[in-house]
Structure 1
Amino acid sequence: MNKTATGLSVAFALCPFSKGTRVVCYLFFLLFSGFQFALAQTVIIRGKILDARRNKPVEFANVLLTGTTTGTQSDLNGAYAITLDSATVAKGSVTLKASYVGYSPDTRTVAVSSQQKVITLTFRLQPQQTNLSEVTVKGKKDRYRNKDNPAVALIQKVIDHKSRNRRESFSYYQYNKYEKVEFDLSNVSEKFRNRRSLRKFDFVFNYLDTSAVTGKVNLPIYLRESIANVFYSRNPERKREALEAEKSSGIGSYVDNNGIKVYLETLYQDINVYDNNIMLLAQQFMGPTSPLSPQFYKFVIVDTTTIGPTRCVNLGFSPRNPTDLLFQGTMAVALDSSYAIRKVIMGFPRDININFVTDLRIAQEFDQVGNDGLMLTKDELAIEFNLLKRENGMGLFGQRTVSYRNYVLNHPIRPELLAGLSKEGKELNLDRDDTYWTTARHQELTNKEKGIYAMTDSVRKVPLFQKFMNTALFLLEGYKPIGPFEIGPVNTFYSFNPIEGFRARVGGRTTVGFSDRMAFETYGAYGFRDKRFKYFASATFSLTNHNTYTYPIKHIQVSYQNEIKIPGQELQFVQEDNFLLSFKRGPNNRMTYNKVVNLDYLNESKRGLAFNVNLKRIDQAPAGVLRFDQYVADMGDQTVPLAHLTTTEVTLGLRYAPHEQFYQGKNYRVPIVNKYPIFQVRFTAGVKDLLGGQYAFQRLMAYANKRFYLAPIGYTDVTLEGGETFGRVPYPLLTIHRANQTYAYQLESYNMMNFMEFISDHYATAFVDHYFNGFIFNKIPLLKKLKLREVVTFKGLWGGIREQNRPESSNPDQSGLLRFPTDEQGAPLSFALGARPYIEASFGIANIFKILRVDLVKRLSYLDNPNVPKGFGVRFRMKFDF
């Protein structure tokens, strides 16, 4: 396995949740990359396998140490490496044989000695002039066909029998699982190691190593171990992983170490080669045993082999289109009545439309457990990350190794062992001492691996490192720590809008260094045009034994805010006074000054269920050119200005998000998207005369979101939302639909709607976004090399306002209602939806320069409303994604 990658990919691969976290991770990893390395303890033969005619790499070619069972396969760059033990080295010479179907084998003998550490040996295979190209993965001159192809007939047998060969075919199984995830900064150059700025970290010299896989210098930077007992029952189907112990290195409170662990679990998930679709790198790939695989893969019989007493066929497979999200590799299929997979080695094609991954290899072996059947006994996943996908660049190499022991098959399992969360552990027991780990590990750590824990602990104590991380967090995450307090976020210090003009703000909050159970936050702002101060203060009290930011949260929060707000806008992951949101299209001179007293109780559980009770008093006053013009009884269409309106609201909320996981950033808790749905229900009651509340009403809202994976044509995100307001209330208390007048594409807002354009007391909305992941562009020769990806979206809004809430002359009783906003000439700017829905759609091109998405958005209805954007709108969105 080639372990090259660029240093910048360290941050982007591990921390794609926020720009700040990604870059901080990158800088951290680079900080440790500047030193010399320890000498390898073994002799490594490494090199490349090339096509002699085209001088291009031969991927997944076999390299065998003749006379032994030791061998390997070349990776996507044609690179291979074999480690020789001392007994083999003592022979003085070894013979290696390289082979691949469609090529003449090449056998080479090379002298070895204990004085050598790394030997470079390159094979150049000559293509065979045979008819094999007709059915081989490599064949290009002759058309590949499924018909009369014995390889396709064999994979069909595997597909037909896979329900019997899956481990889920057992009535029960249980085993002990040891998992180890390690990341190394790889291919560190001599020039970089000698940088003067890194001299204060000379102590990491003792932890550098030479890779046993590639022979290249690497620096271990992260290690996580876990031990668990796994239990499975087929009827009823239930699987539970009970964690016994967990241990990881980390860099302290600078990043969310638990969030990093969770994200790594999404990158390095359990892989079942029998699954139709395989989740990996937060993407879904069609597996080679899917019933649809013969339509998307090429299959070829490579050779035959023997595993134990069973004769097997090595079946090669690769995508028909190498840019699609499919695998390439070989599997050993048993030539008995089971047609079981005994061994599989697979990875990505070189041209696959995946970012930042230079190489990937999955290696699994299945062995007989007693007389009961086959179970997984070898499970390895290695990924090489590189920002520019450069073969010889500096980067990150991560490897997940899982060991299984103590298999028990088809023996009933006590119900209490299957009860509880699908993956959980007793928190007090997860932190085990060294004695436990020494006996519980399935294999002993190497000296290099043992040193990772000591190295990261030592690094955190270096004053230069602490100063560097604090400065980086201020610049990139937005907060500057000062003792137990931190100032920020920096992106809100300056902003502007037509009402406030230039807006200055400063604020901050306490850290866990102040208290684990209490958190305080505050800010003050001033608008130089409206000459008004705005401010906020909150106190949060954790009702658990961890801090107020750690999931699951259980807290009580009280706050007071005096602020300006765009009616209908509730931004989820950014501040409304974020500097970048200051740039807007169209008029933005209608806002409200809000004074909000808030008391909130939140109770989350690890099962994904959250319960919320909220008491809120809101006082709204018009700002800018917005007016609250109230109709008065017996005055017809005449109105009187209303200075403000006040409501007291009690809200009960219920949210269910099974298997939800997060990365906790400095500003927001960012969910890691998975295949499970999210449901939310919220009921709000306005209580008249309580704390000065002027209106009695009820509001009900329901929300559902789910990602549907549709490999190989991408995935679809669907969001459905509906709500209704009961009672007679003025329009600021109805639903003012989320519009977006910025040039950034917002997922669950209407990007061609104006602020306050549509108001409803009952509504239903649908957001549908389909990401093709390059499925179409991959077929177009001029586009597939750019690795662009297609996105299509649809947004629809249905709704209306009942007669009792319509402030129109047709309403016989308008008294108490507020006139809808108008422009300077008295023409209406806000409307109720009619019989037809509001619709907009867009086509986007994503993955431009690997980070940029550009959408052409078209509004399809209500085109005669004032100030409606004409034609297509261009919107932008930045996102790092694999």
Structure 2
Amino acid sequence: MRALKKILKTSLLFFFVVTYVNVFAQQTTRIKGKVIDAKTGEVLPFVNISIMGTKQGTQTDMNGSFYLETTDTKPTLRVAFVGYTPEVRTIEGGKIITLTFKLKVQNTDLQEVVVKGKKDRYRNKDNPAVTLIRKVIEHKAENRKESLDFYQYNKYEKLEFDLSNISEKFRNKRSLRKFDFVFNHLDTSQITGKVNLPMYLKETISDVYYRKSPENKKEVIQGEKMTGLGNYVDNNGIKLYLEALYQDINVYDNNILLLATQFLGPTAPVAPQFYRYVIIDTTEFKGTKCVNLGFSPRNSNDQLFQGTMYVALDSSYAIRKVQMGFSKDINVNFVTDLRVSQEFDFIANEGLMLTKDDLAIEFNLLKKENGMGLFGQRSVSYKDYVINKAIAEKYFEGLKVDTEKNATNRDEAFWEAARHQGLSKKELGIYTMVDSVKKVPAFQRFMNTATFLLEGYKPIGGFEIGPVNTFYSFNPIEGFRLRLGGRTTSNFSDRIAIESYGAYGFRDERFKYFGSATFSLTDHNTYTYPIKHIQVSYQNEIKIPGQELQFVQEDNFLLSFKRGQNNKMTYNKVLNIDYLNESKSGFTLNLNFKNIRQTPTGALQFNSLSKEGNQISTPEIITSEIMLGLRYAPNEQFYQGKNYRIPIINKYPSFQLRYTLGIKGVLGSQYNFQRLVAYTHKRVYLPPIGFTDFTLEGGKTFNALPFALLTIHRANQTYAYQPEAYNLMNFLEFVSDEYAALFVDHHFNGFILNKLPLIKKLKLREVISFKGLMGKLSDKNKPTAENGLMLLPTDENGNPSTFSLESKPYMEMSLGLENIFKVLRLDFIKRLSYLENPNVSSNPTVRFRMRFDF
């Protein structure tokens, strides 16, 4: 009987719990919707949606969409936007509802300053909204937090990435049945209303210190924690790439860095020339009366923001709240939605500081609003503010961003105490879910296949075979060439990396090979920044003189296709010992020893002239050289792959200086010489009209040497556009012992084409470039019978094919279109000088380049 009572009690308790949960679930109303213009059908961004009688509300995104949740049993929605008649609608609670609001234009004078208005001419003159934004611009220096003498705070940053808009069809795919456990972590986004699957989470706790005079800012990372995919990708590389996309945003900055590019901010001094402004209404924010000021691009395709800001109606004209994003027509790839939400509040009555800081971006490869994509959200919270109290000098020592030694190894007790707010159940589940996924054999097979397709390497234990694009290539000397090689991975060793390959040319019937061993001198692997290693290598290979290709394999199959003649090469045997020491400050020291043996092949000959006028053939050139390289690149960032890295270009310059000393007699070396080369690169952002890349390079060789040891300028005879090569110059066409070079590329980011009807829909972007080279071949390096130097190369008829640059500079320029199908760049290049040289064209020529970019 007692047992029966217990069963009955348990059953009743279960019944009440289930009933309560069901009632609660029924009371939750989930509302997805869109707001459009009733006449044109165009979506309306940043429309205010509120639930009457409550403080709940939201705004539409750049696609006119919104999402709301409420427990109101019969909520009444009010949809209002300046220049339109508000609409009020009561809906039934406890359901998932999709709504479309069609707002009608009001017949009032406000039409002239509607943010979205296109029919009536917008003017800055006598526009109260423009007068207000100019007051904001005038006072922004004292409203920035940098106007304070000192400040410090504790910062908690959370960056989450989800697979967004998960459909039932996707969940039921046969290929995902072994991963069905991950769908237990599905969650509905509070921002987009879409069903998302969490994939990545990074948390950071840091202390931030600022001093106005002399100005200095320091961030010390106390803890860092993130999910990872094991050895398949480099977690640090992903972190750096995401940090480049999700930057700190200051609405008072003239240029706002986001998505690794810069956008003209709505408070820049020139912003009224490119933005429209409108006074929407007046409101109160935390006890302060404010004007709700709307802003949007004059041209919806331009790379500008649109949104609203609350401007204090007092003498400060401070921004108290801002919500902004992109126009749906903006010329930015892969981004379907972007939202910045920030709020400012007074701290200790001393100054305005950020109290809310959220950035959410939704990515989709084809930019389909309802397609499956990625949703990333960065949320930052701040506490323990200390304002205008002196900070000791010791807090500013070292790097601007420093990391505590054990920051990445903090235990859970640290995180529970350090987080500003606890993680949700969904967020806590990301760590365990990702760890579980890595153990599924199907996932391992998928990642191995993806690595092979994207990087060209096939992993086998602690070794990778590849890269696949070098397995087959061809050239006039080797004919059909086969190559097979690979490298070790961190599964083999964290501190030692070995790479090797073998190749065979079927025409010259010669084997080529390469082998290297790299020893890390740090506590991390040989590829993780900052690098500190010693590398020893030996290579027996065929080379095109003067070619230094960056980030590509020289025997890449796609580079086999070349224009003109390519029959002058050398067989090189190179012994290389390299010491590299990078620091987080951006300073790099490189010390290198090389012994190089060059043997001419094909149509290239090493001939000199005797005093009797006869040609004397030299079988090879042998040099031993020591190179000291110094490089300074402050705030440099990379996307780090497993065994490679690609620089993420930012606004900071880089400088490089190389001094080379040739030593006669060491390992058969035939020459003493000295060479000095200097290089600098700088990107200058000029939003909204794009950015310009400047590269300057110069060098001088101080001794009399054969042409093969002088500077043979980088030519390009492939059909691919190379940014730092001369794309219409022939191999071995120019040689110098002193030179200066300038490369200029300006990317307009569609600023001109965005204004052309029909064409602007293609989202094309203009680019213009110029490459100039001045050089000289000193008398001491001009071959004569007296100095016995090697004759400059000639063609098969004995006519000169290699020249000096003394008479005039070499120049070429190009006009290009970028972002064709979002990945292709086409350049129409015109050579401007030395058109009388053999085998050159005076007509414009087309080159292409493939690149993914936002």
- TM, length-normalised to structure 2: 0.96
- Residue 351 of structure 1 aligns to a residue whose secondary structure is coil
Contact 2:739 2:776 in 1 (8 A): yes
What is the CA distance between 1:53 and its match in structure 2? 2.1
Contact 1:243 1:430 in 2 (8 A): no
Contact 1:133 1:140 in 2 (8 A): no
Paired amino acid for 1:792: I
- Residue 867 of structure 1 aligns to a residue whose secondary structure is coil
What is the CA distance between 1:308 and its match in structure 2? 2.0
2:351 aligns with 373
1:748 aligns with 724
**TM-aligned CA distance change 1:473 to 1:138, over 3 Å:** closer
Paired amino acid for 1:239: K
User: Is 1:821 equivalent to 2:807 in the alignment?
Assistant: no
Supply the distance in 2 between the matched residues of 1:385 and 1:509 (Cα, whole angstroms). Answer: 34
Q: Deviations over 1:837-861 (max 9, x none)?
A: 0000000011111110100100000
Paired amino acid for 1:373: G
Which residue, 283, 298, 301 being the options, matches 1:323? 301
Matches within 5 A, 1:701-716: 701-716=677-692
Matches within 5 A, 1:237-386: 237-386=215-364
User: Is 1:141 equivalent to 2:127 in the alignment?
Assistant: no
What is the CA distance between 1:187 and its match in structure 2? 1.1
What is the CA distance between 1:67 and its match in structure 2? 2.2
What is the CA distance between 1:646 and its match in structure 2? 0.3
Supply the distance in 1 between the matched residues of 2:156 and 2:743 (Cα, whole angstroms). Answer: 42
Which residue, 747, 750, 770 being the options, matches 1:771? 747
Supply the distance in 1 between the matched residues of 2:813 and 2:780 (Cα, whole angstroms). Answer: 33
What is the CA distance between 1:41 and its match in structure 2? 9.9
2:140 aligns with 162
Supply the distance in 2 between the matched residues of 1:46 and 1:292 (Cα, whole angstroms). Answer: 38
User: Is 1:100 equivalent to 2:81 in the alignment?
Assistant: yes
Supply the distance in 1 between the matched residues of 2:405 and 2:441 (Cα, whole angstroms). Answer: 32
What is the CA distance between 1:441 and its match in structure 2? 0.7
Contact 1:488 1:506 in 2 (8 A): yes
2:19 aligns with none
**TM-aligned CA distance change 1:667 to 1:833, over 3 Å:** farther
Paired amino acid for 1:285: F
2:17 aligns with none
Q: Deviations over 1:643-683 (max 9, x none)?
A: 00100001000011101111222553111111000100000
- Residue 197 of structure 1 aligns to a residue whose secondary structure is helix
In the alignment of these two chains, the number of paired residues is: 830
The runs of 5 or more residues in structure 2 that have no matched partner are 1-24
2:22 aligns with none
Supply the distance in 1 between the matched residues of 2:644 and 2:422 (Cα, whole angstroms). Answer: 39
Supply the distance in 2 between the matched residues of 1:616 and 1:309 (Cα, whole angstroms). Answer: 71
Supply the distance in 1 between the matched residues of 2:657 and 2:28 (Cα, whole angstroms). Answer: 61
Which residue, 823, 826, 838 being the options, matches 1:866? 838
User: Is 1:661 equivalent to 2:642 in the alignment?
Assistant: no
What is the CA distance between 1:46 and its match in structure 2? 2.2
Supply the distance in 2 between the matched residues of 1:683 and 1:724 (Cα, whole angstroms). Answer: 10
What is the CA distance between 1:790 and its match in structure 2? 0.3
Paired amino acid for 2:332: I
Paired amino acid for 2:845: G
Contact 1:296 1:320 in 2 (8 A): yes
- Residue 518 of structure 2 aligns to a residue whose secondary structure is strand
Supply the distance in 2 between the matched residues of 1:789 and 1:866 (Cα, whole angstroms). Answer: 34
Supply the distance in 2 between the matched residues of 1:347 and 1:625 (Cα, whole angstroms). Answer: 60
User: Is 1:783 equivalent to 2:759 in the alignment?
Assistant: yes
Q: Deviations over 1:119-138 (max 9, x none)?
A: 33332222101111112212
- Residue 475 of structure 1 aligns to a residue whose secondary structure is helix
Which residue, 186, 200, 205 being the options, matches 1:227? 205
Matches within 5 A, 1:122-141: 122-141=100-119
Supply the distance in 1 between the matched residues of 2:516 and 2:305 (Cα, whole angstroms). Answer: 51
Which residue, 46, 52, 57 being the options, matches 1:60? 46
User: Is 1:176 equivalent to 2:154 in the alignment?
Assistant: yes
Matches within 5 A, 1:381-460: 381-460=359-438
Which residue, 524, 539, 545 being the options, matches 2:523? 545
1:878 aligns with 850
Contact 1:40 1:209 in 2 (8 A): no
Which residue, 476, 487, 499 being the options, matches 1:498? 476
Which residue, 677, 686, 696 being the options, matches 2:672? 696
Supply the distance in 1 between the matched residues of 2:36 and 2:380 (Cα, whole angstroms). Answer: 32
Supply the distance in 2 between the matched residues of 1:496 and 1:428 (Cα, whole angstroms). Answer: 51
Deviates most, 677-686 or 75-84: 75-84
Alpha-carbon RMSD across the aligned residues, in angstroms, is 1.3
Q: Could you say which structure has the greater relative contact order, defined with CA pairs below 8 angstroms and 6 or more residues apart?
A: 1
- Residue 127 of structure 1 aligns to a residue whose secondary structure is coil
Supply the distance in 1 between the matched residues of 2:645 and 2:61 (Cα, whole angstroms). Answer: 38
The runs of 5 or more residues in structure 1 that have no matched partner are 1-38
Supply the distance in 2 between the matched residues of 1:212 and 1:152 (Cα, whole angstroms). Answer: 34
Paired amino acid for 2:806: G
What is the CA distance between 1:450 and its match in structure 2? 0.7
User: Is 1:671 equivalent to 2:676 in the alignment?
Assistant: no
User: Is 1:838 equivalent to 2:810 in the alignment?
Assistant: yes
Contact 2:183 2:197 in 1 (8 A): no
Paired amino acid for 1:814: N
What is the CA distance between 1:183 and its match in structure 2? 1.0
1:19 aligns with none
Paired amino acid for 2:715: A
2:712 aligns with 736
User: Is 1:111 equivalent to 2:92 in the alignment?
Assistant: yes
What is the CA distance between 1:814 and its match in structure 2? 2.9
- Residue 140 of structure 2 aligns to a residue whose secondary structure is helix
- TM, length-normalised to structure 1: 0.93
- Residue 774 of structure 1 aligns to a residue whose secondary structure is coil
Contact 1:477 1:666 in 2 (8 A): no
User: Is 1:507 equivalent to 2:507 in the alignment?
Assistant: no
Paired amino acid for 1:818: M
Deviates most, 454-463 or 749-758: 454-463
2:821 aligns with 849
Supply the distance in 2 between the matched residues of 1:539 and 1:601 (Cα, whole angstroms). Answer: 12
User: Is 1:78 equivalent to 2:45 in the alignment?
Assistant: no
What is the CA distance between 1:258 and its match in structure 2? 0.9
User: Is 1:593 equivalent to 2:537 in the alignment?
Assistant: no
Which residue, 111, 121, 131 being the options, matches 1:153? 131
Supply the distance in 2 between the matched residues of 1:592 and 1:381 (Cα, whole angstroms). Answer: 54
- Residue 668 of structure 2 aligns to a residue whose secondary structure is coil
Supply the distance in 1 between the matched residues of 2:256 and 2:673 (Cα, whole angstroms). Answer: 49
Supply the distance in 2 between the matched residues of 1:666 and 1:529 (Cα, whole angstroms). Answer: 35
Matches within 5 A, 1:29-40: none
Paired amino acid for 2:165: N
Contact 1:807 1:814 in 2 (8 A): yes
1:569 aligns with 547
**TM-aligned CA distance change 1:652 to 1:40, over 3 Å:** farther
Contact 1:102 1:138 in 2 (8 A): no
Paired amino acid for 2:786: D
Supply the distance in 1 between the matched residues of 2:608 and 2:320 (Cα, whole angstroms). Answer: 77
Supply the distance in 2 between the matched residues of 1:526 and 1:138 (Cα, whole angstroms). Answer: 65
Paired amino acid for 2:809: P
Contact 1:40 1:210 in 2 (8 A): no
- Residue 104 of structure 2 aligns to a residue whose secondary structure is strand
